[in-house]
């Protein structure tokens, strides 16, 4: 097998400035992949109108769905849009909701964080709830107001981890502390998903794809923030990197087998 590091794709957020559309990624995601997973992160532009997903995915051994300021447009999960659901990124929706399905179908390792976690639930037929803090008995899952990122991304509540589940096997424990930077969450769980962790107020904090042969997992929290310094985050990104490398080896062996027999 080649010594080259495998590629992991990250679909971009889009925004407009001075009449032009820009595609962007947050540094903390690509840094966690490069420094902890030890893979090569590559941005996937959110322009599904000109991308051939099958051709695109032929080049990747993993996909990471990032968090974002924007939210999934409610009509994608059968609800009407309101100011509570804003802001939106229709270019990202158009790309990621198709991409996630294709990644799952092909068995490519998939790690979904925050908005990506919510996208995974929507792709699997689930729905989302907005402004969680308004619900009776709910925690305020929004970030603390501070200019200090360490304060905003500090652990703020515990989660109970499903015994015997995917996350339990990676972390080796049944509870942990996580940060909380969201105001939306899972309303109804999508078909074909397992609950991997739940907050004290019942909000689902981690999910996995049932029957997945590789890493197909998502967190509502942000393990990518200073991942190398957080033992739980490091375990998650190490496990993802291992899954990506395993997929790369398998793909290379198949390719070599075809090449030699041709």
179-190 residue pLDDT tens: 999 999 999 999
Higher pLDDT, 261 or 177: 177
pLDDT at 254 over 70: no
pTM here is 0.93
Mean pLDDT of the chain: 93
Q: What is the distance between the alpha carbons of residues 61 and 39, in angstroms, rounded to a whole number?
A: 10
Percentage with pLDDT > 90 across the chain: 84
Question: 157 near 222, Cβ under 8 Å?
Answer: no
Instruction: Domain 7-261: give its CATH architecture.
Output: 3-Layer(aba) Sandwich (3.40)
The pLDDT score that the predictor gives to residue 259 is 45
Q: Is residue 2's pLDDT more than 70? A: no
Q: How far is 67 from 55, CA to CA, in rounded Å?
A: 25
The Cα angle at residue 156 between residues 155 and 162, in degrees rounded to 5: 80
- Alpha helices in the chain, H assignment, sequence order: 27-32, 53-57, 90-106, 115-123, 149-152, 166-171, 231-261
Q: What's the pLDDT score for residue 256? A: 54
| Residue 103 · residue 124 · CB < 8 Å | no
What Å distances lie between residue 93 and 27, 68, 81, 103, 236, CA to CA?
A: 21, 12, 14, 15, 25
Closest residue by Cα to residue 63 from 246, 215, 249: 215
Q: What does the pLDDT average to over 102-107?
A: 96
Q: How far apart are CA 90 and CA 73, in angstroms?
A: 7
Compute the average pLDDT of residues 60-79.
Answer: 96
In whole angstroms, how far apart are CA 20 and each of 50, 136, 167, 246? 18, 43, 41, 40
Residues contacting 206, CB < 8 A, separation 6+: 117, 159, 161, 167, 195, 196, 197, 217, 218, 219, 220, 221
Q: Which of 93-97, 131-135, 172-176 has the lowest mean pLDDT?
A: 131-135
Model confidence at 194, in pLDDT bands (50, 70, 90)?
very high
Please write the tens of the pLDDT for every residue from 9-61: 999 999 999 999 999 999 999 999 999 999 999 999 999 888 899 999 999 99
Give residues with Cβ within 8 angstroms of 200, minimum separation 6: 139, 157, 158, 160
Boundaries of every domain in the chain: 7-261
- Once rounded to an integer, what is the mean pLDDT over residues 241-252? 93
Backbone angles phi, psi at 145, to 5 degrees: -80, 115
**Predicted pLDDT of residue 261:** 42
Structure tokens at 197: 């962790």
Among the residues of 107-230, which ranges form H helices?
Answer: 115-123, 149-152, 166-171
Taken as a whole, the chain contains a residue count of 262
Q: Supply the residues annotated as catalytic.
A: 114, 222, 224
Confidence of residue 262 (pLDDT cuts 50, 70, 90): very low
Checking if the pLDDT of 67 tops 80, the result is yes
Give yes or no for residue 1 having a pLDDT over 80: no
Average pLDDT over residues 152-159: 94
- More confident of the two residues 49 and 91: 91
Helix axes 90-106, 115-123, angle to 10 degrees: 60
């Amino acid at each position: 097998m080649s010594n080259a590091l495998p590629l992991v794709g990250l679909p971009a957020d889009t925004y407009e400035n001075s009449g032009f559309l820009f595609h962007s990624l947050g540094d903390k995601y690509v840094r966690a992949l490069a420094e902890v997973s030890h893979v090569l992160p590559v941005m996937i532009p959110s322009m599904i109108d000109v991308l051939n997903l099958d051709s695109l995915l032929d080049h990747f051994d993993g996909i990471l769905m990032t968090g974002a300021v924007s939210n999934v447009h409610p009509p994608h999960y059968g609800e009407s849009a309101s100011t509570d659901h804003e802001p939106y990124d229709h270019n990202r929706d158009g790309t990621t909701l198709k991409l996630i399905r294709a990644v799952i179908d092909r068995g490519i390792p998939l790690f979904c964080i925050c908005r990506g976690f919510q996208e995974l639930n929507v792709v699997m037929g689930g729905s989302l709830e907005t402004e969680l803090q308004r619900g009776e008995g709910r925690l305020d899952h929004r970030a603390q107001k501070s200019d200090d990122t360490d304060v905003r991304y500090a652990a703020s509540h515990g989660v109970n981890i499903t015994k015997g589940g995917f996350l339990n096997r990676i972390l080796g424990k049944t509870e942990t502390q996580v940060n909380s930077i969201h105001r939306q969450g899972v309303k109804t769980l999508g078909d074909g998903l397992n609950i991997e962790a739940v907050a004290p107020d019942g909000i689902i904090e981690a999910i996995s794809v049932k029957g997945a042969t590789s890493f197909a997992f998502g967190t509502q929290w942000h393990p990518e923030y200073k991942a190398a310094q957080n033992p739980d985050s490091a375990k998650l990104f190490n496990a993802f990197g291992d899954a990506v490398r395993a997929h790369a080896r398998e793909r290379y062996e198949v390719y070599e087998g075809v090449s030699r027999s041709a």
